[in-house]
Structure 1
Amino acid sequence: MPTAPAQGFQPVFYTRHAAAPGNADDGEPAAGATGRGSGICYDADRDGPHQAFCDGSRFMAYRREFLGRLEFIIDLCRQQRMPDADAIEARFRSLYRHRFEAGYFDVEHELPLMDSAGKRALDGFCDTLARAASRPDRQMTAIRELSLGVVVCASGIVANLIAADRELAQSLEGLCGKLWMVKEQIVREVLRQEVDRIYGSFELAEENELYYVNELWNAIAGDLGLPSVEGNPEDADECGYDAGYIAACRAKAMVALAPDRIACRMAEECLSMFRGRAMSDADATYGACTAEQWSRLCDIVEDIRRDLGLTVSQLGLESFLQLHDDGRRYRVRDDPALIALALLKAMSAEGLLADMPVRLADFVAGDGRHGEVFMYGSMLGWRLQRETPAANEAPARTGAAAMDTRDMPAASLPWDAHVAAEPVNLSALRAWLADDGQLGPQLWPGAPATTLQVTSLDALMKIPAEWLGSARPLVGLLNRLSAQQGVEYLGHNLPYLLTDFPAGERDALLDKAVQLGEPGYVLARAWRSELWLVLQLAHNTAIRYLRDNLRHLAANIPAPSRGRWLDEIMHLGEPARELARAWCPDAWTLLTQSTDPLNGTRLEYWVGRDNVRALDAVCQLVAAGWGAGSVSRASGQAASVSTSQGRACAWCLDEAGKIAVSKDPATIDAARRLLRQLSFGSPASERHGRRLSDLFPSNVLYVLEAGTPETSRAFRGLLLDPQLLPHIGPELPAILYGSGAYPGYPMSYVLATGRKDFIIAYGTFLADMANAPDGARWIARLLMPKWMPEPEPEPSRGRAAPSHDPRSGCYALLDACVAGAAQAIEAYHQVLAHPAILPHVRHVLPELVLGAPTVDPKTGHRRWPEARYEVLDRMFNMSAPGYPAYRDLVRDPAILPHIVDAVPLTAVIIRTRLQGRGVVVDVDAHMPSRVVHGPRT
């Protein structure tokens, strides 16, 4: 964003800030703590050579005092009951051993510095701790951070002691102390970045900080009002850097020390602290304005104000909250702009700021109130509204015409007049300034409204992206340039775009940037992700990108993210297949990995998304021998799906959870090709084949019932494939109907629908199965109209245990008789009598049409339990609405001979009806017949 003209800080900000212990929280020094600087320490002018100090009469007292300082800190840890007190004590006692019991410090340079500047800093730190007794949080934080700083290299210990002493003192001095502390932090960050850029930021990071950064620090410290680091050269001529480089570092530090940047940094910390304490849930930004909650929020802001040394009038709760519903609810702000504004006003009150906000425009709002838009620096914008225009204001103007500042009063409002402000969305402000068809303000070179009127392409190339600040004018500029010029322009402006370009504008810019190659790729990887980038590229471009970056991707994509990559890119040619080979030992592992608990395996996820290209890609890999000689780590413990409902969701239901009636047949055909390829061709495939049924869906009946003819045909082809059927036959009941009311008994569901056409279609499916190799042996189970398994017999009595399920051991055929579903019974009759089916089910016809128990292999007889006999009675109840259709079924000459002997000898009436003789007996359709109470065989 363009930077509004600003002078920044007054010169006083660039002077040294002496610590003022008297401004800290009042309190008596604690026992064992002496005044700042009053302890024993080495002074070369007074004590002579350092060795003389160590051999002198004061050294033993110095040693005891040094230990006393450390024990004072350790005792304070214990008093505050710090949870890591033991670890902190160990670190401070390590410092004592390093100084007095081991040759840890260099005796020529480091040890004299430790006994002089280091000891003075330790004395001052303890003194400040004693005066901060009312701020235990500050005490604990300072102690913990220092304890970590005294177990580094020898020269680093002294620097950390000095920094800890100064930062603790400054943190207790209110706003000015905080500002000077932030100033030091920012300058050190800038210098560290410079040193890291030259020397690297890994192995020598600590040494960089201690030597190179401190040298640069001392070289510019006098200009910025920073304390020099003892033990490093303070003169620019001594530090080894040329004057030009030092000047460049000083300029970068000055830019980073802009008031708006410092205020926004401090404001973000304040808002983060407030949100961390005020919000129990990171997403719970709204709350009710109860008295208790309001009091708690005020206490949180009071703590923040006390840290900053501000008053209620300077920083109020409204900077953190926005009220809704007439004050009954609040929302925690996510923009720290109003906190930053409050800090800038406080800085101005301290006499630190040399300028005032810049007024960009005045306007008349829809409700008639007058207002102004202000900007300060490059990061802050806000608006003020009033009932009437200000006295020194020109006549109000509305719309973009108001943005012409040529006749606007030169004087802006003083800082203390900026009350009841509301933050301005800077992205929206940019869009307003660049509104099509309107003249924007001439506040800075390259304003968005005038930029694209420049006719020279060379002039366009020289416009910094930060002057444009939003996607619309920036994309307009790129559209004016050639592709190569666009690449060069983005490359030159990458530093700004990567760090400061508004987040809300990035997607709009990426649409254009990724078309320009590598600079756009850099932005996409930084703002979104590399996978997002690949998916945005055109097909051939994406393949080329994967090929060019294959080695990097294979080695650097984290393991938890690889599954997502494979889900999205498998269709992208040979490079995608190479990644699959690099990340998975074989196709079985790839296909059975779980992509999401709700989506099941990767195979199911791909089928659910109709990802035919991914399925065919894996099929090609298997055909080429992928994993043929390996033993898959997953082959014996494939993570198919935890529930059959999960499979149904992937294969047979759409995203809304409805039956996938128009499931793309091409997807099912692709899955069929892949499963066929998995089932043969190598020893590994043979192992996979034994678990092939785990990869199949459940509840295919849903699609066979409701799907389009093409979809149903594709599923039939999948299930009846002669290469696959031998592997899935035992699991066909679960594949056809693995969940729902009657899992494992597909004929029960088919009969329950009452649809004759569906029952006939299912019979045709079974007839085709009977004609398929090795398919006939599964037909009997698939025709069983049983609701649920019958309870197991009790071992002691040899009879069925009671069940609490009223349908236990019952038959859908009985329900059809009772309900009068004559057409369903007739259709079932046709299926059983089908020439392709009947030869394979003759031996189980008693179970299929009578509900008879199976033959006991030991006795060769059928033992009829009470529940089964009741089912038989009720199906032969002449008053049942569906009895005529059922009678035709059981009397069919093709069926009758195979069932009559299964009827109990005591069931005389039923046997008579089967033989066609008319005996009229009134049998209750809901109770067992009284004529069958004798012994049953």
Structure 2
Amino acid sequence: MPYPLSTPLPMAPAQGFLPVFHTRHAAAPGNADNNETDVDAAGRRSGIRYDADRDGPHQAFRDGGQFTAYRREFLDRLEFIIDLCRQRRMPDAGAIEARFRTLYRHRFEADYFDTEHELPLMDSAGKRALDGFCDTLARAAARPDRQMTAIRELSLGVVVCASGIVANLIAADRELAQSLEGLCGKLWMVKEQIVREVLRQEVDRIYGSFELAEENELYYVNELWNAIAGDLGLPSVEGNPEDADECGYDAGYIAACRAKATAALAPDRIACRMAEECLSMFRGRAISDADAPYGACTAEQWSRLCDIVEDIRRDLGLTVSQLGLESFLQLHDDGRRYRVRDDPALIALALLKAMSADGLLADMPLRLADFVAGDGRHGEVFMYGALLGWRLQRDAPVSNDASARTTAGAPAAPPDISGVSLPWEAHVGAEPVNLHALRAWLADDGHAGPELWPGAPATTLQATSLDALMSIPAEWLGSARPLLGLLNRLSTQQGVEYLGHNLPYLLTDFPTGERDALLAKAIQLGEPGYVLARAWQSELWLVLQLAHNTAIRYLRDNLTYLADHVPMQGRGQWLDRIMHLGEPARDLARLWCPDPWTLLTQSTHALQGTRLEYWVGSDNVRALDAVCQMAAEGWGAGSVSRTPDRVAGSSVSTPQGRACGWCLDEAGRVAVSRDPATIDAARRLLRQLSFGSPASERYGRRLSDLFPSNVLYVLEAGEAARSRAFRGLLLDPQLLPRIGPDLPSILYGSGAYPGYPMSYVLATGKKDFIVAYGTFLADMANTPDGARWIARLLMPKWLPEPEPAPGRGRVASPHGDRPGCHALLDACIAGATQAIEAYHQVLAHPAILPHVRHVLPELVLAAPPIDPKTGHRRWPEARYEILDRLFNMSAPGYPAYRDLVRDPAILPHIVDAVPLTAIIIRARLEGRGVKVEVDAHRPSTGVRSPRT
């Protein structure tokens, strides 16, 4: 039937692929899924495996006449892989052979598999995967690197637990097939991606979102996948198709999901998906800056572009004749310049033609209309599926029926083109057609519009007068490119008027995928563009796209509206992004927050902690400096009577739970890209809050809560500039007196030894790190008020809190019932000689030693503190045990520890702390040789000289 040009274009149903597309392409030709023993080209038997429906119980299969042949075929498969290893001269061929022979023994010569579940699965799905893997290896002869990688990885996967062997065989079969060059391998991969997306959407729609997303994927989606995989030519995943019933899937629902997956696997959708990836790959390598889509066709540049397309062709297994450079580029100025296409339609067309050449497609494109262009050339418009349209032009008419054409100026009677098309190979020299624009132009009926043929928008925009352009509805253009061409011909005022006149269509019906390209131009035209940006994106997005001065002016003009109408939950995001935009941004901050503390301690994202942590973590120096300036101007002075503890929205944690946003990224790694300038900006802000503002006393009382934890990770990383910035922050003479009591948690607030930084430093065993930490403490000792914190920061222990005095009740230890640790003892036992020597060097540092003499027994002997009532140390049994083990001569680290405690600068301060009953230990400290018959710290009657 004829299609009138005034009616919407028909959607050509993609009849889809031929049945071969839904056949698992990894199966070698001639491999029948039965018990026949045909021999393929590689000389390998195929097809023997267990099938419960055919063979009945698994025991019957093992007792049947085919089992001997099955066993021989299983061994032949493994021999084929082993022989291939030898042919490729793999250096680990012997180890690989041993693993595969272990698999054979586990299957046939040992009770390795559970006979009820695992063994039937091995003889069915596992054998099928082994067959497919060997067949794919034979086809991969041109890629020995991929052969060897696949064999090596599989060999490691067949010597695991019994249940894991089958899963690894299936995974290896699929991954090898997907890794091979060629269109079929890519199609298989895309098929799996599309089907899984469809099923995941269906499961989420029925069951909603689950907290246990992984379990949801493994159970619900995988079982639904297995129920339809066979019909779509996809491999099953772990599980059984029958389990779909246990998930609550009835036959009707499974059929509906199968229909949706089949519809999603339409050729045009697959081709467009692959084409978008190809174009993205090409643009990523061919375009280096904003002007790069256009370029001169020099020999060097042309060769470079050809190399990029050749890489894409090689990945797809296509030839030059199947996918050429013209699918990616459009030539201008008689071939002297090129433009990189932004529409993947021609790439998709090339892929469809390749699919047809491989015998996969069941249908051909639908011809919509013929036309005669302004230059007299004849052409046709084609459409395929719901996503692709293109046009062909020829020098000669394509039909003897003159009525089957539409002239450039006046539409003729619509042609009868039903059932008429061209074979895929005849679609040469095509140009893409924007389907939205095509529908809009053809729906115009020719009333007061320019010529009705594909490509008319581009011609019209170049030839039509400005007044005529102003009257062209935006819906006729249908996409960003022709609309931008029209706006570029108009003056600024005309552009504003045009957008304003077409706002109803643009706001509601303009294609979503075209909006971003239009917005870049539209927001330059003022209010109509602002309306589109607020509707399509957000007001914050609009502000961030504007030039600096324009954004400041926008905030100033809309300050009252924004202050009242930005939702409470969205205000923090605004302040994160706009604080650098001058006084209007600072006014918004003052209107939304009463003081700097409230702003800086508000919670942002769960993984980002407070706003201060988020700004430091994102290197937002401009925001930090803006708040510093506002604090200097007196922001928050009027609320000085309020205590930070009761500030609304405050989310500052306790020292034990302080977040690490300053020092770590979201994965817990040291953020090596942190800019030292950010730490300097945070330092300026904290100084201002504590000493340079009317509310400094209030902020100073809880200043340490604004500091990060685990700064040791930064010092450990060893990056000089960043370490200097953190050292300057912590040792600032104005900040250190405020944060001193919390320095243990700031340096190391979480982990194995929370609150004992030296324990973590020693546990690393890194000499340079220990010395660097000691240098940091030496610098602290030289600052006012810094020396009094050093003793705790050098304590190499993590011990439970001491028991309370009698009569006051028992206080629960923050470490529970664990007995505690001593990192110096751990170093002795582990033989960390360099770590002990470095700790020795730190303690003996002339800037440190004078401040820790009184606690040296605690630092090096694990001695208990002096009892203030008796003036003596009370050694409990646990401390005796640590002391005894420290002086164990057989410990690998004892020589270094001995040098530490015998250091003349240290020994006089520790010898009197040793219990009088610890005779041997005292002797070793004094360099004397004694030997006792009893425990080192027990009274003894028999004394003799030992070796020292």
Instruction: Give the direction of change, closer, same or farther, for the CA distance of 1:432–1:870 in structure 2 (3 Å limit).
Output: farther
Change (3 A) 1:292 1:634: farther
Number of aligned residue pairs: 586
CA-CA distance at 1:452 after TM superposition: 2.5
How much has 1:647 moved relative to structure 2? 5.4
Q: Tell whether the 8 Å contact from 2:932 to 2:940 is kept in structure 1 after alignment.
A: no
Corresponding position: 1:611 with 2:550: no
Asked if residue 371 in structure 1 is aligned to residue 382 in structure 2, the reply is no
The answer to whether structure 1 residue 816 and structure 2 residue 827 are counterparts is yes
What per-residue deviation string (whole Å, max 9, x for no partner) do you get for residues 643-699 of structure 1? 779855421123554212342110000000000000024552211110111100000
Amino acid at match of 1:323: T
Task: Judge conservation of contact 1:603–1:695 (CA < 8 Å) in 2.
Answer: yes
Instruction: Report the CA distance between 1:281 and its aligned residue.
Output: 2.7
Q: Give runs of aligned pairs for residues 73-222 of structure 1, distance below 5 A.
A: none
Contact 1:598–1:646 (CA under 8 A) maintained in structure 2: no
Question: How far is the alpha carbon of 1:582 from its aligned partner?
Answer: 0.5
Letter in 2 for 1:456: S
In 2, the alpha carbon distance for the partners of 1:705 and 1:7 equals: 68
- The answer as to whether partners of 1:446 and 1:463 remain within 8 angstroms in 2 is no
Mapped partners of 1:428, 1:932: distance in 2: 98
Say which is worse superposed, 316-325 or 445-454, in terms of deviation: 316-325
**What is the DSSP-based 3-state SS (H/G/I as helix, E as strand, rest coil) of the residue aligned with 1:448?**
helix
For residues 483 and 462 of structure 1, the distance between their equivalents in structure 2, rounded to whole angstroms, comes to: 16
Conservation of the 8 A alpha-carbon contact between 2:406 and 2:412: no
The residue aligned with 2:493 is 484
Report the CA distance shift for 1:784/1:4 in structure 2 as closer, same or farther (over 3 A).
farther
User: Secondary structure at the residue paired with 2:462?
Assistant: coil
> In the TM superposition, what is the alpha-carbon distance from 1:815 to its structure 2 partner?
1.2
- Report whether the alignment pairs 1:781 with 2:782: no
Rounded to whole Å, the distance in 1 between the matches of 2:250 and 2:756 is 62
1:534 to 543, 552, 559: 543
Residues 848/545 of structure 1: CA separation in 2 closer, same or farther (3 Å cut): same
1:323 lines up with 2:250 in the alignment? no
- Aligned equivalent of 2:524, options 497, 500, 515: 515
Alpha-carbon distance in 1 for matches of 2:675, 2:417: 67
Pairing of 1:813-852 with structure 2 (within 5 A): 813-852=824-863
- Out of 904, 912, 916, the position equivalent to 1:893 is 904
* Cα offset, 1:857, TM superposition: 1.6
Q: Tell me, what secondary structure is at the counterpart of 1:594?
A: coil
Counterpart mapping for 1:549-588 below 5 A = 549-588=558-597
How far off its partner does 1:457 sit? Answer: 2.6
Aligned partners of 1:916 and 1:799: how far apart in 2? Answer: 42
Distance 1:527 1:747 in 2: 54
Distance 1:801 1:590 in 2: 35
Q: Among 907, 918, 921, which residue is 1:907 paired with?
A: 918
Q: Tell me the amino acid that sits aligned with residue 365 of structure 2.
A: G
SS at match of 2:713: helix
What is the alpha-carbon distance in structure 2 between the residues aligned to residue 830 and residue 586 of structure 1?
47
- Residues 899 and 490 (structure 1), Cα distance of their counterparts in 2 relative to 1, 3 Å cut: same
Q: Aligned equivalents of 1:873 and 1:895: distance in 2?
A: 19
> Alpha carbons of 1:806 and 1:297: their partners in 2 closer, same or farther (altered >3 Å)?
closer
Structure 1: distance between partners of 2:805 and 2:692: 48
| Match status 1:687 vs 2:698 | yes
Deviation at 1:632, TM superposition (A): 7.4
Aligned residues of 1:826 and 1:889 also touching (Cα < 8 A):
yes
Give deviations 1:800-843, integer Å, cap 9, x for gaps.
99999897333111111122222221221121122221121111
In structure 2, the CA distance between the partners of 1:796 and 1:818, relative to structure 1 (3 Å rule), is farther
Residue of structure 2 in register with 1:661 after alignment: 672
Q: 1:799 to 1:886 in 2, by over 3 A?
A: farther
User: Quick check: 1:794–1:800 contact (8 Å CA) kept in 2?
Assistant: no
Aligned partner of 1:748 in structure 2 is 759
Classify the secondary structure of the residue corresponding to 2:604. strand
Equivalent in the alignment of 2:685: 674
**Contact conserved, 1:847 with 1:854, CA < 8 A, in 2?**
yes
Question: Does the aligned pair in 1 maintain the 2:658–2:749 contact within 8 Å?
Answer: no
| 2:262 alignment partner, SS class | strand
Alpha carbons of structure 1 residues 804 and 473: separation in structure 2 relative to 1, 3 Å = closer
TM-score, structure 2 normalization: 0.55
Q: Residue 410 of structure 1: which of 412, 415, 419 is its match?
A: 415
Q: In the superposition, relative to structure 1, how do residues 560 and 815 fare at CA in structure 2: closer, same or farther (>3 Å)?
A: same
- CA 1:673/1:662 → structure 2, altered by over 3 Å: closer, same or farther? same
Counterpart of 1:279 in structure 2 is 206
* Cα drift, residue 919 of structure 1: 2.5
Pick one of 432, 435, 438 that aligns with 1:429.
435
State the match for 2:770 in structure 1: 759
Give the 3 Å change call, closer, same or farther, for CA 794–408 of structure 1 in structure 2.
farther
Aligned to 1:81: none
Q: What is the CA–CA distance in structure 1 between the aligned matches of 2:407 and 2:259, rounded to whole Å?
A: 33
The C-alpha deviation readout for 1:348-370, integer Å capped at 9, x for no partner, is xxxxxxxxxxxxxxx99632733
CA distance, structure 1, for counterparts of residue 788 and residue 386 of structure 2: 84
Shift of 1:549: 1.1
* Alpha carbons 1:645, 1:739 under 8 Å: kept: yes
Are residue 770 (structure 1) and residue 781 (structure 2) matched? yes
Partners of 1:879 and 1:905 in 2: CA distance: 23
Q: 1:650 aligns with which of 650, 661, 674?
A: 661
CA shift in 2, pair 1:408/1:703, >3 Å: farther
Matched AA of 1:873? D
Counterpart in 2 of 1:5? 6
Post-superposition offset of 1:518 = 1.5
- Structure 1 residues 531-551: Cα deviation after superposition (integer angstroms, max 9, x where no partner): 011111122221121112111
Counterpart of 1:579 in structure 2: which amino acid? L
Distance change (3 Å), C-alpha of 1:582 and 1:798: closer
Deviation at 1:633, TM superposition (A): 6.1
Q: State the shift of 1:594 in Å.
A: 0.3
Alignment RMSD: 4.6
Deviations 1:206-228 (A, max 9, x none): xxxxxxxxxxxxxxxxxxxxxxx
The equivalent position to 2:609 in structure 1, one of 600, 607, 610, is 600
Quote the residue 2:714 is aligned against.
Answer: 703
Q: Which amino acid aligns with 1:544?
A: R
1:220-235 pair list within 5 angstroms? none
Give the Cα–Cα distance (whole angstroms) in 1 for the partners of residues 257 and 865 of structure 2.
80
Q: CA deviation at 1:471?
A: 1.0
Whether 1:450 and 2:442 are equivalent positions in the alignment is no
Of 701, 709, 731 in structure 2, the residue corresponding to residue 720 of structure 1 is 731
- SS of structure 2 residue aligned to 1:458: helix
Shift of 1:441: 11
Amino acid at match of 2:923: T
TM-score by length of 1: 0.56
Q: Are the aligned partners of 1:748 and 1:787 in contact in 2 as well (CA < 8 Å)?
A: yes
AA in 1 matched with 2:476: W
Pairwise CA distance, 1:482: 2.9
* CA separation of 1:709 and 1:865: change in aligned 2, threshold 3 A: same
Structure 1 or 2, whichever has the larger Rg, is 1
Aligned equivalents of 1:717, 1:428: Cα separation in 2: 60
Shift of residue 709, structure 1, vs aligned partner = 0.8
> CA separation of 1:574/1:431 partners in 2, compared to 1, >3 Å: closer, same or farther?
same
1:452 is paired with a residue whose SS is helix
Instruction: Give the Cα separation in 2 of the matches to 1:869 and 1:803.
Output: 23
Q: Distance in 1 between matches of 2:464 and 2:605?
A: 54
Q: 1:295 to 1:649 in 2, by over 3 A?
A: closer
The DSSP-based 3-state class of the residue aligned with 2:637 is coil
Secondary structure in 2 aligned to 1:774? coil
Unaligned runs of 5+ in 2: 10-200, 211-216, 229-243, 271-348, 370-382, 388-396, 420-431, 442-448, 942-948
| Secondary structure of residue in 2 paired with 1:585 | coil
* Structure 1: runs of 5+ lacking an equivalent: 9-273, 302-315, 332-362, 376-380, 386-393, 415-425
Query: Which of 690-699 and 481-490 deviates more?
Result: 481-490
Given the alignment, which residue of 832, 835, 857 partners 2:868?
857
